[in-house]
Protein backbone atom coordinates (compact mmCIF):
# COMPACT_ATOMS: atom_id res chain seq x y z
CA UNK A 1 0.00 0.00 0.00
CA UNK A 2 1.38 3.36 -1.00
CA UNK A 3 0.86 5.97 1.66
CA UNK A 4 1.21 9.70 1.41
CA UNK A 5 4.60 10.58 2.87
CA UNK A 6 3.13 13.72 4.46
CA UNK A 7 0.68 11.55 6.43
CA UNK A 8 3.54 9.44 7.74
CA UNK A 9 5.46 12.53 8.81
CA UNK A 10 2.35 13.89 10.53
CA UNK A 11 1.92 10.67 12.54
CA UNK A 12 5.65 10.66 13.30
CA UNK A 13 5.36 14.21 14.67
CA UNK A 14 2.40 13.21 16.83
CA UNK A 15 4.40 10.35 18.30
CA UNK A 16 7.36 12.67 18.91
CA UNK A 17 5.00 15.02 20.74
CA UNK A 18 3.62 12.09 22.76
CA UNK A 19 7.17 11.03 23.61
CA UNK A 20 8.01 14.55 24.74
CA UNK A 21 4.81 15.15 26.74
CA UNK A 22 4.30 11.66 28.18
CA UNK A 23 7.58 9.78 28.15
CA UNK A 24 6.32 6.91 30.37
CA UNK A 25 3.38 6.17 28.07
CA UNK A 26 5.60 6.28 25.00
CA UNK A 27 8.17 3.96 26.57
CA UNK A 28 5.42 1.53 27.55
CA UNK A 29 4.18 1.62 23.94
CA UNK A 30 7.71 0.96 22.67
CA UNK A 31 7.99 -2.00 25.04
CA UNK A 32 4.77 -3.55 23.73
CA UNK A 33 5.65 -2.85 20.08
CA UNK A 34 9.08 -4.42 20.60
CA UNK A 35 7.48 -7.44 22.23
CA UNK A 36 5.10 -7.71 19.28
CA UNK A 37 8.01 -7.74 16.86
CA UNK A 38 10.07 -10.21 18.87
CA UNK A 39 7.17 -12.64 19.25
CA UNK A 40 6.40 -12.23 15.53
CA UNK A 41 2.82 -11.25 16.24
CA UNK A 42 1.18 -9.18 13.49
CA UNK A 43 1.09 -5.45 14.20
CA UNK A 44 -2.55 -5.41 13.10
CA UNK A 45 -3.36 -7.67 16.06
CA UNK A 46 -1.69 -5.19 18.42
CA UNK A 47 -3.57 -2.28 16.86
CA UNK A 48 -6.88 -4.10 17.11
CA UNK A 49 -6.24 -5.03 20.75
CA UNK A 50 -5.36 -1.45 21.64
CA UNK A 51 -8.23 0.23 19.83
CA UNK A 52 -11.07 -2.27 20.27
CA UNK A 53 -9.94 -4.56 23.07
CA UNK A 54 -10.01 -8.36 23.08
CA UNK A 55 -13.67 -8.68 22.09
CA UNK A 56 -13.98 -9.36 18.38
CA UNK A 57 -10.23 -9.58 17.81
CA UNK A 58 -9.18 -12.75 16.04
CA UNK A 59 -6.16 -14.39 17.66
CA UNK A 60 -3.21 -14.90 15.34
CA UNK A 61 -2.62 -18.52 14.32
CA UNK A 62 0.37 -20.62 15.31
CA UNK A 63 1.05 -18.86 18.59
CA UNK A 64 0.98 -20.94 21.70
CA UNK A 65 -1.88 -20.03 24.07
CA UNK A 66 0.47 -19.45 27.01
CA UNK A 67 2.55 -17.01 24.94
CA UNK A 68 -0.55 -15.25 23.67
CA UNK A 69 -1.90 -14.88 27.22
CA UNK A 70 1.39 -13.35 28.35
CA UNK A 71 1.31 -10.97 25.40
CA UNK A 72 -2.32 -10.01 26.01
CA UNK A 73 -1.48 -9.17 29.64
CA UNK A 74 1.23 -6.79 28.45
CA UNK A 75 -1.13 -5.09 26.00
CA UNK A 76 -3.83 -4.92 28.68
CA UNK A 77 -1.42 -3.19 31.06
CA UNK A 78 -0.85 -0.56 28.37
CA UNK A 79 -4.60 -0.20 27.73
CA UNK A 80 -5.29 0.27 31.46
CA UNK A 81 -3.04 3.30 31.78
CA UNK A 82 -4.85 6.48 32.80
CA UNK A 83 -3.22 8.36 29.93
CA UNK A 84 -4.05 5.82 27.20
CA UNK A 85 -6.53 8.17 25.48
CA UNK A 86 -3.57 10.21 24.20
CA UNK A 87 -2.32 7.17 22.29
CA UNK A 88 -5.76 5.97 21.21
CA UNK A 89 -6.59 9.36 19.71
CA UNK A 90 -3.56 9.02 17.43
CA UNK A 91 -4.43 5.45 16.44
CA UNK A 92 -8.08 6.25 15.75
CA UNK A 93 -7.27 8.97 13.26
CA UNK A 94 -5.20 6.80 10.93
CA UNK A 95 -6.20 7.27 7.33
CA UNK A 96 -4.77 4.77 4.85
CA UNK A 97 -1.86 4.06 7.19
CA UNK A 98 -1.56 0.52 8.45
CA UNK A 99 -0.79 -0.43 12.01
CA UNK A 100 2.44 -2.02 10.82
CA UNK A 101 3.60 1.29 9.37
CA UNK A 102 2.63 3.18 12.50
CA UNK A 103 4.35 0.80 14.88
CA UNK A 104 7.49 0.76 12.76
CA UNK A 105 7.57 4.55 13.18
CA UNK A 106 7.43 3.97 16.94
CA UNK A 107 10.42 1.64 16.60
CA UNK A 108 12.37 4.37 14.79
CA UNK A 109 11.93 3.51 11.12
CA UNK A 110 12.12 6.38 8.64
CA UNK A 111 8.88 7.32 6.86
CA UNK A 112 10.59 6.97 3.47
CA UNK A 113 11.43 3.33 4.24
CA UNK A 114 7.97 2.27 5.34
CA UNK A 115 6.07 4.24 2.73
CA UNK A 116 6.49 1.67 -0.01
CA UNK A 117 7.81 -1.40 1.81
CA UNK A 118 5.56 -4.28 0.79
CA UNK A 119 7.20 -6.82 3.10
CA UNK A 120 5.86 -5.23 6.29
CA UNK A 121 3.09 -7.13 8.07
Q: pLDDT digits over 7-47, tens only?
A: 889 899 999 999 999 999 999 999 999 999 999 999 999 99
pLDDT at 116: 66
CB atoms within 10 A of CB 111: 19
Report the mean per-residue pLDDT for the chain.
87
In a domain, 120, yes or no: no
- Please enumerate in sequence order all residues whose Cβ is within 8 A of that of 111, keeping only pairs 6 or more positions apart, or say none: 5, 8, 9, 12, 105
In a domain, 50, yes or no: yes
SS3 56: coil
In a domain, 119, yes or no: no
Does pTM top 0.85 for this prediction?
Answer: yes
What range defines the domain where residue 95 resides?
5-114
In a domain, 121, yes or no: no
Q: How many domains does the chain have?
A: 1
Question: What mean pLDDT is predicted for residues 91-118?
Answer: 83
Is the four-CA dihedral 26, 28, 31, 35 of positive or negative sign?
negative
* Rounded Cα distance, 94 and 97, in Å: 6
**Pair 66, 121: CB distance under 8 Å:** no
In a domain, 72, yes or no: yes
Amino acid sequence: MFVNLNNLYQIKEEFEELQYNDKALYEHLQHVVSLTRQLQIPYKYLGDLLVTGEEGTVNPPFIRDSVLQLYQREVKSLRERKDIEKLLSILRQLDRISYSQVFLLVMGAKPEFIRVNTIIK
